[in-house]
């Protein structure tokens, strides 16, 4: 009970609201004018001084960033992108993909009837939020193009001024909020109203022609905008079956025009915005970030809505989940191109990597069974187990290297993971701790925990764009502790603390052993759930019962189903406390934990819960993840129940010689099972807990079998609870 109280008290202390830092957000002057230019499909790779001189010039006068266009599905069609800007939350229209609907002219304005239809759908509930907020402030809206009309239509579908092309809009200065749809880049990709499955549907030469056409349409807009207009430009949709990061530019007062610098937009060789020096990329400019992503060079689609409103001096509605853009450290378009390449490469490699990892896991257990059942090459099995356990942490450690700068990105990435695996395995197997059977497993667990904890404390640069982490092009998470890294962190912490507890118990210090497990577990749990650091809702719920079970077993206590359920409830209470305290902070400082509390309070959380539940259920039969769970757990169970036939008795011997190792394994599996049920990654959580914990136990068992015999094995009935 004392440790339970400590856990809650620590959460309260570390999660106390803090004053929001003063961000450089879109704070345009009261009465300012803002123009949003949406160019679905626009990549930084499309922009160069020769083919797109006006976009090149605009980049030289703007903050630069990337926008993750993820909405609800894997690919964001233009309709979904414009609808998300309209709603201020991720939105989608389901089967009606393609271009937004054509508005119906009505006097000087137009009406978009589909808005009222979308209001009754699950993923279109907030359509019309942007336009309604503008009208509520007594201002008018002006739109050019069908997508712009959808973005600025209020909940009745009404837009005050509308034209299908720039030349048709008579008064560009009448309304403070203007939107323009430049669809030239994406229209040719649409087949029967839908994006094609073939990412190479358009040749590179045709793509350059489309970029030139889009640049011409953007130029027609820029030439008509009143002086002093703040410009927000973003590529708000995908152009094929492969998602990408898209262009984000923000021209606002206070940004220095970088014209005249070598290789910069509008500089020498690009005078008048009509030519091009053939330079490689625009010059360095301030980056565009947002608190939604906690990254200085990345924003998301829902952030565009509050950015437009704030630039016009209007307050975003409470239902808007995005946050206004802010300016950060200097960056170049070349950096943004490389970020897109890294994200797309990781996404494209992840499926193959997990398939290979699953095959490797299943193959390892098959070979281990064959060799161990015949009492042959046990040392080789133990070494292979350590190597296998080093693979996950290597997928993060490789991001310490600039693999994304290589001309062969995927090859360099995989080579780096293999090299990292070999290096970490060598440290574990050859260090002075190798003399103890628990030494190499402790080393691997400690390295894994240290890498992930260090990553959380330094902005999660290692999980970002990693094979077992997350990428912005997928758009599931942009910062904090993802589900697979959570499983690895929880397993590593529980295993290493259990091994440390074993040493303390052997020395007769059981109480300090229990305190060590609980104390380090509390620290890791707070790190996982701390807003802005781990920000992991389900991870806290799953971590608490794992820590409690491990601590109880180390203390020599029994674990009942009732106690286990109580610990799960405690985890839910703990993360709820953290989320509520996060919600009490200013909106700009909140993470998704605090915003979720807001959704619960206003009753808008059910669609999000439904999507996460569906995602969790979809992973239960994953061909890449479930085999890892089945192979690892089957080997472990039969190694315990049939030790003479499956594992030469090494696992029971390991538990007999190091009982605390059993406590760590059981705690890790408890966290894995609970995490599988409460996270949208489902089986991925349990599979990674198994992939790390079981090989470490197997190695300890092999090494224990090499030690002098004589220690009696415990009865099998005592191996678990």
d(CA 131, CA 460) in angstroms, rounded, equals 36
* DSSP structural state of residue 687: H
Tell me the per-residue pLDDT of 624-647, one tens digit each, with 9 for 90 and over. 677 888 788 887 776 666 655 556
Given this model, what pLDDT does residue 702 score?
A: 86
Given this model, what pLDDT does residue 129 score?
A: 97
CA 707 to chain centre: 45
**Model confidence at 607, in pLDDT bands (50, 70, 90)?**
low
Sequence ranges of the domains in the chain? 34-331, 340-718
Classify residue 507 as exposed, middle or buried by CB count within 10 Å of its CB (0-12, 13-18, 19+).
exposed
What ranges make up the beta strands (E) of 277-350?
285-289, 298-300, 326-331
Fold for domain 34-331? Answer: Alkaline Phosphatase, subunit A (3.40.720)
Given this model, what pLDDT does residue 616 score?
A: 61
The 104-106 sheet, strands edge to edge: 104-106, 109-111, 158-159
Tell me the per-residue pLDDT of 376-403, one tens digit each, with 9 for 90 and over. 778 899 999 999 999 999 999 999 999 9
Element (H, E) at 618: helix 606-618
Contact (CB, 8 A) for 521 and 539: no
| Whole-Å CA distances, 61 to 191, 196, 251, 288, 440 | 36, 34, 6, 13, 55
**Which tokens sit at 701?**
């068992």
**Model confidence at 581, in pLDDT bands (50, 70, 90)?**
confident
Closest CA to 364 of 669, 690, 645: 690
**Which tokens sit at 518?**
């609980």
**Model confidence at 606, in pLDDT bands (50, 70, 90)?**
low
Mean pLDDT, the chain, whole residue set: 85
**Model confidence at 238, in pLDDT bands (50, 70, 90)?**
very high
Residue 614 has pLDDT above 70, yes or no: no
Residue 637's SS3 state is: helix
d(CA 481, CA 456) in angstroms, rounded, equals 7
Contact (CB, 8 A) for 93 and 99: no
| Whole-Å CA distances, 399 to 394, 413, 448, 465 | 9, 9, 14, 8
Contact (CB, 8 A) for 36 and 179: yes
Given this model, what pLDDT does residue 717 score?
A: 33
141-144/177-181 β-pairing: parallel
CA 179 to chain centre: 29
Q: Taking the model in full, what pTM does it have?
A: 0.85
Could you give the percent of the chain with pLDDT greater than 90?
A: 60
Residue 280 has pLDDT above 60, yes or no: no
Tell me the per-residue pLDDT of 157-195, one tens digit each, with 9 for 90 and over. 999 999 999 999 989 999 999 999 999 999 988 876 677
CA 355 to chain centre: 21
Residue 197 has pLDDT above 80, yes or no: no
d(CA 136, CA 679) in angstroms, rounded, equals 39
Greater pLDDT, 179 or 598: 179
Given this model, what pLDDT does residue 23 score?
A: 40
Where b means 16+ CB within 10 Å and e means fewer, 468-498 reads bbbbbbbbebbbbbbbbbbbbbbbbbbbbbb
Closest CA to 681 of 350, 399, 246, 341: 350
Residue 331's SS3 state is: strand
């Amino acid at each position: 009970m004392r440790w339970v109280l400590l856990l809650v008290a620590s959460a309260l202390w570390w999660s106390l609201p803090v004053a929001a830092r003063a961000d450089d957000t879109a704070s345009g002057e009261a009465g300012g004018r803002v123009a949003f230019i949406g160019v679905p499909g626009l990549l930084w790779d499309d922009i160069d001084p020769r083919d797109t001189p006006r976009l090149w010039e605009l980049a030289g006068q703007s903050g630069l960033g990337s926008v993750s266009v993820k909405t609800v599905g894997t690919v964001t069609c233009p309709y979904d992108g414009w609808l998300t800007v309209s709603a201020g939350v991720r939105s989608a229209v389901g089967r009606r993909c393609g271009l937004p609907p054509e508005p119906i002219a009505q006097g000087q304005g137009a009406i978009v009837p589909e808005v009222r239809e979308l209001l009754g759908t699950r993923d279109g509930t907030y359509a019309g939020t942007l336009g309604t907020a503008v009208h509520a402030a007594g201002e008018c809206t002006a739109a050019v193009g069908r997508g712009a009309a959808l973005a600025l239509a209020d909940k009745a579908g009404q837009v005050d001024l509308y034209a299908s092309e720039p030349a048709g809009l008579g008064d560009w200065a009448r309304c403070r909020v203007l939107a323009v749809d430049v669809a030239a880049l994406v229209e040719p990709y649409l087949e029967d109203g839908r994006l094609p499955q073939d990412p190479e549907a358009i040749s590179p030469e045709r793509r350059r022609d489309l970029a030139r056409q889009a640049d011409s349409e953007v130029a027609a807009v820029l030439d008509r905008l009143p002086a002093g207009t703040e410009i927000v430009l973003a590529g708000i949709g995908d152009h094929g079956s492969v998602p990408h990061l898209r262009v984000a530019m923000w021209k606002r007062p206070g940004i220095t025009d970088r014209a005249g610098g070598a290789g910069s937009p509008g500089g020498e060789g690009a005078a008048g915005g009509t030519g091009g020096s053939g330079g490689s990329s625009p010059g360095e400019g301030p980056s565009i970030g947002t608190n939604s992503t906690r990254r200085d060079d990345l924003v998301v689609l829902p952030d565009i809505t509050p950015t437009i409103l704030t630039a016009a001096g209007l307050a975003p509605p409470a239902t808007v989940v995005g946050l206004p853009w802010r300016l950060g450290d200097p960056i170049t378009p070349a950096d943004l191109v490389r970020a897109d390449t890294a994200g797309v490469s990781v996404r494209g490699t992840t499926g193959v990597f997990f398939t290979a990892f699953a095959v490797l896991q299943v193959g390892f257990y098959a070979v281990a069974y064959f060799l161990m059942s015949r009492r042959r090459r046990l040392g080789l099995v133990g070494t292979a187990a350590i190597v296998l356990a080093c693979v996950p942490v290597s997928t993060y450690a490789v991001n310490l290297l600039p693999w994304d700068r290589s001309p062969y990105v995927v090859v360099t990435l995989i080579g780096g993971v293999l090299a990292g695996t070999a290096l970490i395995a060598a440290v574990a197997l050859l260090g002075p701790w190798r003399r103890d059977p628990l030494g190499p497993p402790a080393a691997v667990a400690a390295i894994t925990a240290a890498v992930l904890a260090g990553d959380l404390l330094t902005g999660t640069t290692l999980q970002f764009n990693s094979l077992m982490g997350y990428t912005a092009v997928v758009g599931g998470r942009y910062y904090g502790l993802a589900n697979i890294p959570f499983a690895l962190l929880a397993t590593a912490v529980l295993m290493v603390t259990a091994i440390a507890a074993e040493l303390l118990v052997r020395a007769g210090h059981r109480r300090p052993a229990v305190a060590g497990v609980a104390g380090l577990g509390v620290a890791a749990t707070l790190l996982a759930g701390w807003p802005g650091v781990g920000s992991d809702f389900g991870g806290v719920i799953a971590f608490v019962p794992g820590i409690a079970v491990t601590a109880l077993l180390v203390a020599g206590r029994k674990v009942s189903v009732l106690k286990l359920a109580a610990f799960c409830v405690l985890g839910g209470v703990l993360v709820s406390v953290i989320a509520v305290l996060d919600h009490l902070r200013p909106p700009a400082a909140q993470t998704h934990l605090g915003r979720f509390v807001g959704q619960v309070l206003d009753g808008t959380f059910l669609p999000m819960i439904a999507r996460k539940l569906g995602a969790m259920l979809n992973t239960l039969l994953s061909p890449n993840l479930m085999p890892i769970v089945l192979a690892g757990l089957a080997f472990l169970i039969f190694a315990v129940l049939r030790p003479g036939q499956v594992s030469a008795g090494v696992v029971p011997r390991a538990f007999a010689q190091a009982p605390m190792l059993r406590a760590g394994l059981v705690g890790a599996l408890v966290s894995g099972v609970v995490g599988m049920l409460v996270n949208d990654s489902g089986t991925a959580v349990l599979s990674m807990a198994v992939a790390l914990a079981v090989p470490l136990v197997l190695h300890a068992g092999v090494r224990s079998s090499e030690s002098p015999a004589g220690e009696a094995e415990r009865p099998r009935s005592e191996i678990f609870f």
